Amino acid sequence: MIVHRRFCCCLERALALRNQLNRQRLSTTSINDLVNHHKTIKSSVVTPPSIRSPLNPTEVFTNSELRLSDMDVIGFDYDYTLAPYTRELEHTIFNMIIEGLVSTRHYPSALSELKYDPDWLARGTHYDITSGIFMKVDAYHRIQSESVYQCFRKVPEEEILDRYPGKRLFFSPAGHSSRFRQIVDIFQLPELYAWCAVLNYLQSTKNVPHPVLVYEDISNVTRDLHVHGTLHAHIMRNIGRYLEPNSTLVEMLNMLRNENKKLFILTNSPYEFVNVGMKHMMGAKWRSQFDVVICLSQKPKFFEDKYRVFRRLTRRNTPAYGEVTELKEGEVYCEGNVRDLHRLTGWQPCQILYFGDQMYADLAEPILNQGWHTGAIIRELEHEIELLNSEEYQSNMHVLKELNYLIREVQRLLPDPTAVKFTEQWCLERKQVRTELRTLHASPFCSTFRTHLMPTLFYRRLSRFAEIYTSNLTNLVNYNPSHFRFTPVRQDLPHEIK
């Protein structure tokens, strides 16, 4: 106890000395020091110290510590998780939506000339269904003025303030809003680009219906593509255009099974559709890799409704008569609920790791209310990391960080008139560097994961709903399932750094 008190006294004296030195440093910092520092960062002969070894686009990134050896059961969604579709599928969905508007909703036939731009929208973007405005929103619901567009028209600052006082969006605590929506699913990208393109065309003809009417028509046409099976039938007929054989997926699943992991599929897609895709990627015996296969699960209802019973599918893909008392390997099931999944398999929730690409339907409910562990498949990471590794990006980011430091420090010398002058000058320079960074992105909505200083609301939800995340499911093949521990990088909190 005496040693402990002495240690505490020494620690207190050390902290007091450090604080005293910090105060002395602040009092002796001059504007000339800051100006000289500014000259060094703007010098072309200085190599930014932030340039580092490249990031690995196949890495699995960690939000929360996770030991693979503790995960006895690993599950997978199908679309954009087990099945990484090519970008051509987005073009196909867009064209089918336009065709449906013209043929069933009597929109102008000239819409058939519209083309899909896969780089315009970005996942995580929010949109206002009452106005056709798309916007980027940070983790605190603040609208980023540089990324606000009505269709393809950049919305000026004054109009943003008039429409959205305080430049904030307001949601319920659960994130729900009848007016504002978020692009969280890759399937939504062609649907909402169609909304942009159609509204833009109609405005040019002076025949402008309310944006909500166009939004509802496009939503209904898109829903019909899924409900009537039109989209699935087209993909199955042309499976080679949208999926490629995937030997790495086979290797990864074999690796997990060799470590005695139980594997299952839990998807909202119908079995006949899943079967065609899995055969194309893995071969005819793909079902032997999985202990349980559940289709038409209707997530997130699968996790919320405790009374939807499992139905076994017959060879004709119709539900069999009779109660399901166990989930057998080699059989295919539909519907069901998470409580019965635990009961019929004996799997403990804390031992289940589930991968999906849709944060709300796939990941939110399992991790928040069911005790599962979760992993997200975020396709956009590959392009994001490619950009982060570029020398141009890293050089600009180095300058931006240093300017933020200078602005923070020079304001400690206010209200000195010279300090006011340099604060304004460096804020203007910072704005120019931010503009240069924005031009490196293909989409006007830039990064899916961050604004200039803050994470996006998309990433904030990702960090809450997914313990690990990566660009492609097969990246797991690089990690030993018996020994690897995913450990997050310790992040300094604002009050922990100087």
* Contact indicator for 135, 144 with CB cutoff of 8 Å: yes
- The DSSP line for 185-225 is STTHHHHHHHHHHHHHHHHHTT----HHHHHHHHHHHHHHH
* Contact indicator for 458, 182 with CB cutoff of 8 Å: yes
Q: How far is CA 26 from the centre of its chain?
A: 41
CB-count burial class (<10 Å; 0-12, 13-18, 19+) for 494: exposed
Active site residue 79: yes
Q: How does DSSP classify residue 45? A: T
* Contact indicator for 168, 180 with CB cutoff of 8 Å: no
Cα-based torsion angle of the residue sequence 356, 362, 364, 368 in order, rounded to the nearest 10 degrees? -90
User: Which strands make up the sheet holding 153-154, listed edge to edge?
Assistant: 153-154, 143-150, 133-137, 126-128, 180-182
Kindly give the interhelix angle for 230-237 and 88-104, rounded to the nearest 10 degrees: 140
Tokens of residue 417, six digits: 């008139």
Residue 333 backbone phi and psi in degrees, to 5? -125, 160
- The DSSP line for 363-382 is IIHIIIII--EEEEE-TTHH
318: amino acid identity, one letter: T
In angstroms, the CA 289 to CA 282 distance is 10
In angstroms, the CA 147 to CA 278 distance is 39
Q: Which of 257, 318, 313, 316 is nearest to 282 (CA)?
A: 257
Q: Point out which residues pair with 154 in neighbouring strands.
A: 149
In angstroms, the CA 149 to CA 137 distance is 13
- The DSSP line for 71-137 is --EEEE-TBTTTB---THHHHHHHHHHHHHHHHHS---GGGGG----TTS--TT-EEETTTTEEEEE
Q: How far is CA 354 from CA 37, 122, 482, in A?
A: 49, 25, 17
Active site residue 77: yes
Q: Which of 70, 77, 162, 305 is catalytic?
A: 77
Cα Dmax for the chain: 87
Q: Which of 154, 67, 158, 27 is nearest to 479 (CA)?
A: 67
Q: Which of 79, 138, 340, 362 is catalytic?
A: 79
* Active site amino acids: 77, 79
